[in-house]
Amino acid sequence: MNNEHLVRQLLAKADIQINGSRPWDIQVHDDRLYGRVLRSANLGLGEAYMDGWWDCAALDEFFHRLMRADLSAEVRSWRLALHALSAVVMNPQSKSRAFTIGEEHYDIGNDLYKLMLDPRMVYTCGYWKQADSLANAQEAKLDLTCKKLGLKKGDHVLDIGCGWGSFAKFASEKYGARVTGVTVSKEQVALGQKLCAGLPVDFQLKDYRDVEGTFDHIVSLGMFEHVGYKNYNTFFDVARKHLKDDGLFLLHTIGGNRSSYGGDPWVLKYIFPNSMLPSVAQIGKAIERKFVMEDWHNFSADYEKTLLAWYDNFEKSWPELAKLQDEKGELIYSDRFYRMWRYYLLMFAGTFRARTNQLWQIVLSPRGVRGGYQSIR
């Protein structure tokens, strides 16, 4: 049985055809694709797409079907095993590597993120319960976060992984809070300081393990995916150390249905280096004896909508992005980057549609809220 036949059989389990006529069917331009996928699984599939070896009109639905059929369990490669082994042996998210994600993902260009994201530049899942646009969904998420904390005027909040200051600006303007934000991205600090000029917001370029001070509340929106399972205990120790006894800690993170010890090889190499998704069990074990779990809110279906909105913005903005040049006059974003970024956004949309990825907001208290915590949705 040749490689093409094997791949056809696998794809058939997900109702995907090679060179078929439906939007989720793939169009193969190079027959070397089959061997590459069987050798390197997810990494080979993604790199082959970046190289133009195959196309698909509806990548999000293609990945939705792949995930629902759980084909990754049938296509394992030595590279997958190597990534898993290295994550166990090493600590990819150690303090010495903390700034890698900032340099390789968040510092690739504020122009890209300004055009792709909403006006507040929120790079986390929106809350679409009553929203009809990306901007409204992101404001609703920020407001939901503030309400879950019981935020009030004068509160001092630590924002771990503050991005460009979207939460800090909102919490300061709408609730009168003072915010200290830490990030490992120098570009986020530079732009965030401009966006929050005149507000009681302090940006700090540092790793979460170097935080100083005590805070009324702590938030972390979309940063925990970069912490790594070997550092979960340290992360929650840090949060507990810097949170007042009567404060709340809101953790907003993507999560997986199964405990793992590393990330997807393609995502690690091209999008989020040294990242991995936590499981319910891993978070539960790490907060034990440190926090009381007051509320666990799953609104993962909203991430599909958010990613598709980002993708629409990216597509509309690509003609502008494709012309941008650096100081040497060279193009900043290549055609290969376009295929990579398109693949990234639509792949993740497909995983959330398939419910293999989750989005959680978890509210934690150091000693338990007296009388009980009132959940807010």
The predicted-structure confidence for 8-19, as pLDDT tens digits, reads as follows: 999 999 999 999
* Polymer length in residues for the chain: 377
User: What pLDDT shows up at residue 337?
Assistant: 96
User: Tell me, what's the pLDDT at 95?
Assistant: 59
CA within 13 Å, CB half, 66 = 26
Mean of pLDDT values over 212-217: 98
Predicted confidence at residue 76, as pLDDT, reads: 54
Q: What is the pLDDT of residue 78?
A: 42
Nearest to 220 by CA among 142, 170, 160: 160
Domain boundaries, the chain: 1-76, 98-304+352-365
80 pLDDT tier (thresholds 50, 70, 90)? very low
Q: Is the pLDDT of residue 296 over 60?
A: yes
The model carries a pTM of 0.92
pLDDT score of 71: 80
**Is it the case that residue 262 has pLDDT exceeding 90?**
no
| Confidence class for position 73, pLDDT limits 50, 70, 90 | low
Q: What confidence score (pLDDT) does residue 82 get? A: 46
- 329-364 pLDDT per residue, tens: 999 999 999 999 999 999 999 999 999 999 999 999
- pLDDT mean across residues, the chain: 92
Reported as a pLDDT band with limits 50, 70 and 90, residue 34 is very high
| pLDDT at res. 261 | 87
Between 102-111, 125-134, 281-290, 362-371, the lowest mean confidence (pLDDT) is in: 102-111
CATH number for the 98-304+352-365 domain, one of 3.40.50.150, 3.20.20.70, 3.30.70.20, 3.30.360.10?
3.40.50.150
pLDDT attached to residue 100: 74
pLDDT the model gives residue 93: 55
Which residues have CB under 8 Å from 341's CB, separation 6+? 314
309-332: average pLDDT: 95
pLDDT of 91 reads 56
Q: Is the pLDDT of residue 161 over 70?
A: yes
Residue 94: pLDDT band (50, 70, 90) is low
As a whole number, mean pLDDT of residues 36-56 equals 95
